[in-house]
Amino acid sequence: MANGILKKLPEDLVFLILLTFPVKSLLRFKCISKAWSILIQSTTFINRHINRKTNTKAEFILFKRSIKDEEEEFINILSFFSGNDDVLNPLFPDIDVSYMTSKCDCTFTPLIGPCDGLIALTDTIITIVLNPATRNFRVLPPSPFGCPKGYHRSVEGVGFGFDTISYYYKVVRISEVYCEEADGYPGPKDSKIDVCDLSTDSWRELDHVQLPSIYWVPCAGMLYKEMVHWFATTDTSMVILCFDMSTEMFHDMKMPDTCSRITHELYYGLVVLCESFTLIGYSNPISSIDPVEDKMHIWVMMEYGVSESWIMKYTIKPLSIESPLAVWKNHILLLQSRSGLLISYDLNSGEAKELNLHGFPDTLSVKVYKECLTSIPKGSEYSTKVQKF
């Protein structure tokens, strides 16, 4: 019957009708006919499906947390949720990815992305690229670049995005290489930039790049308008460090004047709020700020790249948070508490809720994404295979 209907409808009309369906339905429709399978898997259809207009009801959440087992090793867990009426509903059982990630250090195991529905989970060695909608993933080869004997190499920032010039996905890592002085303190630091091309699984180092020092916070490495963004410190101020995934060029972007001063009392995070580039300022969890003065400030950049366009949009009462994580449905801040709980804060009503999800303190990571059919690049003939979870 489906084939009969298909024959009666013009192909361009079938194309437009299929664009309205979610990924789960489209994956089933591939079995209806060979023609539909070819159409749904075509690059043209996938790109149109990615760029179709959707609302916040089409947003899903990937939640990563770590817990400690009896042997004091960390177990890294991924959870997948849809949301109705601001309630998180599990899509399928949790996934334990501990066998693919470090069990010793869980703080630097963030989620990065999303980019066209793909999200990467990374630690200092392993990077896993996954599509939560199709439940496909692939483990990338580790970077081959180390450092000379007597030196240390510390990964300070990671990004994931798409090169619109060469037309492939990339992972970028910023590392600092330094020797340990006799007094135990790091010596002069040298920046190293590794880039992985997912189409061939090949790593390369960018030549002679000198960068300001990365200021690591949990809510950074954000992809926005084909740029990855981190925080960094110069000799005089704090800035947002931007990396163009296509040209592989770095540049600094100024923060609001009241945020640019280097201080250990305040931390910052980056999110997308109502499609705008947004900065969140909050108290360092271990600072001695007076609780009365402990407020969270949210700044929105009205015109991306124009430093003079920052405006303060919200000032929020103290929440005693560890860090911001993401924005959901354009008005709900997702935060992690200092005890490792996932918290939501409604920017419209001012209501805060504990979401009954928790992990070891300072190990939570969240990405809000829209389901896409994007295929994970297969790499070269020698690459690891795409798998199902």
What is residue 298's predicted lDDT score, i.e. its pLDDT?
95
Confidence of residue 325 (pLDDT cuts 50, 70, 90): very high
In this predicted structure, the answer to whether residue 266 has a pLDDT above a threshold of 60 is yes
* Stretch 325-331: mean pLDDT: 93
Among 163-172, 254-263, 270-279, 350-359, whose mean pLDDT is lowest? 254-263
**C-alpha span between 387 and 15 (Å, rounded):** 28
pLDDT digits (tens, 9 = 90+) for 286-321: 766 666 667 889 999 999 999 999 999 999 986 778
Element housing 313 (H / E):
strand 310-316
**C-alpha span between 324 and 342 (Å, rounded):** 10
In this predicted structure, the answer to whether residue 107 has a pLDDT above a threshold of 70 is no
Cβ-contact 138, 160 below 8 angstroms:
no
**C-alpha span between 119 and 123 (Å, rounded):** 14
* Stretch 18-23: mean pLDDT: 90
Q: For residue 360, what are its two tokens?
A: 């070891």
* Stretch 322-351: mean pLDDT: 92
In this predicted structure, the answer to whether residue 105 has a pLDDT above a threshold of 60 is no
Cβ-contact 290, 283 below 8 angstroms:
no
**How many percent of the chain have pLDDT more than 70?**
91
* Strand pairing class (227-233; 222-224): antiparallel
Confidence of residue 1 (pLDDT cuts 50, 70, 90): very low
Q: What is the mean pLDDT of the chain?
A: 87
Tokens 């009205």 locate to 302
**C-alpha span between 75 and 106 (Å, rounded):** 8
In this predicted model, which residue has the larger pLDDT, 382 or 75?
A: 75
List b or e across 71-96, with b for residues whose CB sees 16 or more CB atoms inside 10 angstroms: eeebbbbbbbbebeeeebeebeeebe
Taken in order of first residue, the domains within the chain and their CATH numbers are 54-376 (2.120.10.80)
* Stretch 36-61: mean pLDDT: 86
Q: Residues for the chain: how many in total?
A: 389
Q: For residue 60, what are its two tokens?
A: 């899903």
Confidence of residue 182 (pLDDT cuts 50, 70, 90): low
In this predicted model, which residue has the larger pLDDT, 57 or 94?
A: 94
* Stretch 104-113: mean pLDDT: 70
What is residue 247's predicted lDDT score, i.e. its pLDDT?
95
**C-alpha span between 82 and 329 (Å, rounded):** 11
Residue 79's DSSP bridge partners are: 63
Q: For residue 85, what are its two tokens?
A: 């009426």
pTM: 0.90
What is residue 203's predicted lDDT score, i.e. its pLDDT?
94
pLDDT digits (tens, 9 = 90+) for 158-170: 999 999 999 999 9
Question: Angle, nearest 10°, between helix axes 11-18 and 43-50?
Answer: 40
Count Cβ atoms below 10 Å from residue 338 Cβ, excluding itself. Answer: 14
Q: 8 by DSSP, 3-state: which?
A: helix
Percent helix, percent strand, percent coil in the chain, to nearest 5: 15, 45, 40
Tokens 């947002």 locate to 240
Among 181-185, 222-226, 292-296, 300-304, whose mean pLDDT is lowest? 181-185
What is residue 207's predicted lDDT score, i.e. its pLDDT?
84
For the purposes of burial, counting CB atoms within 10 Å of the CB of 257, is it exposed (0-12), middle (13-18) or buried (19 or more)?
A: exposed
Q: For residue 361, what are its two tokens?
A: 């303190």
In this predicted model, which residue has the larger pLDDT, 228 or 154?
A: 228
